A and B are shown apart, each in its own frame.
Chain A
């Protein structure tokens, strides 16, 4: 009897953990999909008709066993790259992905040069 209770409890806990993981997975996708009929909202934040329908389609795709990338790929093929907040790294958006690092590097060089200049002036 004790063993049965333990097995039951363990299965209940594992079910709950699994459903939390599924919800998290679902929510991550919702948050990365732009609601095309809203102003600056993801479908996770929107209750619009469009957002509700896209959520249903995403849920179906998850049930079919599709992974995150496959779901994004499907939606991009139908609505264009604008539908995802985090675009894929491609030749065309290479600059978009690496500009922050380039800007950081250039900024660093600029600050360093200014400091060096100031130091040289002080030494003189």
Chain B
């Protein structure tokens, strides 16, 4: 039997196109940085929101785990997640919570912490948002769970909820 290379080639091309379409159309195309775990955080240094001191990466070495939470007073979902941060601060012994106030007015941020309680051991200020780029932040609220060795264990995009709260407790206890 004579093999027609042209037919095989045409068939392969059509099959390839169909496979590409099938995979592409069934794939989740919304990109996020959740998969970027296992990376090491760079050293950082930012002004403190609460006083004239500096908040630097040394703070990560003071506890077994650190949850870095990016928030702002103008961000409504941040208000919703705040109760979970307060609960985590009370219930997890190995977890240190550090806040990064993102593109906010100092007075508004302080008012926010007064009204909704302050679950953070330190609060850094990122006025222009440039420091947050070094953490791979592209919207707030976002939270990054890191260990003592600065390795990212988990990234939480969007507000923390009951499911994430339980997961953080499991991971850190």
Asked if A50 is at the interface of the complex by the 8 Å CB criterion, the answer is yes
B6 touches A113 (CB 8 A): yes
Chain A, residues 46-57, CB within 8 Å of chain B (1/0): the string is 000110011011
B9 touches A60 (CB 8 A): no
A49 touches B129 (CB 8 A): yes
Interface hub of B13, B132, B138 (most chain A Cβ within 10 A) = B138
Interface hub of A78, A80, A114 (most chain B Cβ within 10 A) = A78
The B-contacting residues of A in range 94-119, CB under 8 angstroms, are 106, 109-110, 113-114, 117
Distance A78 CA – B152 CA, assembled complex (angstroms): 11
The B-contacting residues of A in range 10-39, CB under 8 angstroms, are 36-37
Asked if B134 is at the interface of the complex by the 8 Å CB criterion, the answer is yes
The interface residues of chain B lying within 8 Å CB-to-CB of A85 are: none
Distance A59 CA – B101 CA, assembled complex (angstroms): 23
Partner of A53, one of B9, B10, B129, B135: B129
Asked if B128 is at the interface of the complex by the 8 Å CB criterion, the answer is yes
The B-contacting residues of A in range 39-84, CB under 8 angstroms, are 49-50, 53-54, 56-57, 60, 77-80, 82
- Within the complex, the shortest CB–CB distance from B134 to chain A, in Å, comes to 7
Asked if B26 is at the interface of the complex by the 8 Å CB criterion, the answer is no
Partner of B35, one of A80, A110, A114: A80
A50 touches B138 (CB 8 A): yes
Known: A106-B9, A109-B9, A114-B6. A78 touches B129 (CB 8 A): no
**What are 12 A-to-B residue pairs whose CB atoms are below 8 Å?**
A50-B139, A53-B128, A53-B129, A53-B132, A54-B133, A78-B36, A78-B136, A79-B33, A79-B36, A80-B31, A82-B31, A110-B9
Chain A interfacial positions (CB closer than 8 Å to B): 36-37, 49-50, 53-54, 56-57, 60, 77-80, 82, 106, 109-110, 113-114, 117
Chain B interfacial positions (CB closer than 8 Å to A): 5-6, 9-10, 13, 31, 33, 35-36, 39, 103, 128-130, 132-136, 138-139
